[in-house]
Structure 1
Amino acid sequence: MAKRDYYEILGVGRDADQSSIKSAYRKLAVKYHPDKNQGNAEAEELFKEASEAYEVLSDDEKRQVYDQHGHAGLGGNFGGGFEWSDFSHASDFQDIFGNIF
């Protein structure tokens, strides 16, 4: 199942400031908190989604990675958002493996 867009989950626009993100999260957290919805698996899942979205969007660095790469940039199948464009040690591999091949 594909993950929902974090902005959609919180009901904010991509240009939302931190105050708006926090406010939207708090409303959802209160509404879907497990203590208020005991035994309601759907509410529990919505609470977890909102918490995950807030964790990413409230952190400027994580938000930037998410905005650029979506969910895949946050850990998916590519080692936690590692950007190959930032890889500056290619010459090290040449030094290490050059004699083998």
Structure 2
Amino acid sequence: YYDELGVDPDCTLNAIKRKYRALALQYHPDRNSVEDKEEVTIKFREVSEAYEILSDEKSRSEYD
């Protein structure tokens, strides 16, 4: 999940949030062309899943 967001395992929660927001804007299906919609939707889901795990202290410690 760290690679998915492009952050280091020792990064702060604020760094995870900033990176997620940037990637969510980049890959949000409504912000991309129709031709790329399926691809960006998959990427958006992957980024969202990574954020969901890493932004929760309990989930993150279990993942680590």
Q: Normalising by structure 2, what TM-score?
A: 0.92
Matched AA of 1:55: E
Matched, 1:54 2:51: yes
Q: Greater RCO between the two (CA within 8 Å, min separation 6)?
A: 2
Match of 2:10? Answer: 15
Q: Which runs of 5+ in 1 are unaligned?
A: 1-5, 68-101
Matched AA of 2:48: S
The two structures, once aligned, show a CA RMSD in angstroms of 0.9
Deviation at 1:49, TM superposition (A): 0.4
Bigger radius of gyration, 1 or 2? Answer: 1
Matched, 1:33 2:34: no
More helix by share: 2
Q: Which runs of 5+ in 2 are unaligned?
A: none
Q: Normalising by structure 1, what TM-score?
A: 0.59
* SS at 1:15 equivalent: coil
Separation in structure 2 between the aligned mates of residue 12 and residue 50 of structure 1, nearest angstrom: 12
Tell whether the 8 Å contact from 1:37 to 1:44 is kept in structure 2 after alignment. no
Deviation at 1:37, TM superposition (A): 1.8
Runs (4+) off by over 2 Å:
none
How many pairs were matched up? 62
Matched, 1:66 2:63: yes
* SS at 1:35 equivalent: helix
Separation in structure 2 between the aligned mates of residue 36 and residue 51 of structure 1, nearest angstrom: 16
* SS at 2:8 equivalent: coil
